[in-house]
Amino acid sequence: MRPSARIPSILAGLALAVGGVALAPSAQADVKACEQYVAQHAPKATDGAAEACYEGQIGNQTSCVSSLVAVGASKDAANSACEASR
């Protein structure tokens, strides 16, 4: 393979590798955003926030909201926190 043909191939591989790494942490950031919202707006609901926020992240918003309300968050705070988990 000519050196001039190798360089674009290497750069394309690097771009794909870096792009995959950049996307991976975003899923965890959503759960953290949800947990931080709960901590700020419904401090008595922090015990169940991790599990509830995970439910919201995987798309089960109803379970997320009901879990947060069950541990003491208001419905409005639970809805906003679960929205942050997406």
Which residues have CB under 8 Å from 46's CB, separation 6+? 35, 38, 39
Cα-trace Rg, the chain:
20
pLDDT at 23: 47
Q: What is the pLDDT along the chain (86 residues), one digit of tens a residue?
A: 556 656 556 555 555 555 554 444 544 568 999 999 999 999 999 998 999 999 999 999 999 999 999 999 999 999 999 999 98
DSSP assignment of 37-72 equals HHHHH-GGGGGGHHHHHHHHHTT-HHHHHHHHHHTT
pLDDT at 16: 54
Task: Give the pair of three-digit tokens for residue 4.
Answer: 């001039």
Model confidence, pTM: 0.66
